[in-house]
Amino acid sequence: MISLLLDTNLLIEEPNFAAISDPDETVALYTSTLCYAELVEGEFSNDPSAAAAAVLQLAAAQAALGDGLPFGTPELTAYRAICAAVVGRGRGISRARRVDMMIAATALANGLTLATRNADDFAGLDAIVPIVAL
Task: Please state, in angstroms and rounded to a whole number, the distance separating the CA atoms of residues 128 and 125.
Answer: 6
Please name every residue paired with 116 in a beta bridge, in sequence order, or none if there are none. Answer: 133
Q: Tell me, which fold does domain 2-133 have in CATH?
A: Rossmann fold (3.40.50)
Whether residue 32 contacts residue 106, with contact meaning beta carbons closer than 8 Å, is answered with yes
User: Where are the domains positioned within the chain?
Assistant: 2-133
Task: Please state, in angstroms and rounded to a whole number, the distance separating the CA atoms of residues 10 and 17.
Answer: 8
Is it the case that residue 13 has pLDDT exceeding 80?
Answer: no
> Tens digits of per-residue pLDDT, 79-128?
999 999 888 888 878 888 899 999 999 999 999 999 999 998 888 888 89
Is it the case that residue 28 has pLDDT exceeding 60?
Answer: yes
- The helix or strand, by DSSP H or E, that contains position 54, with its residue range, turns out to be helix 48-65
pLDDT (average), residues 31-55: 94
The rounded mean pLDDT for the chain is 89
pLDDT band at 15 (very low <50, low <70, confident <90, very high): low
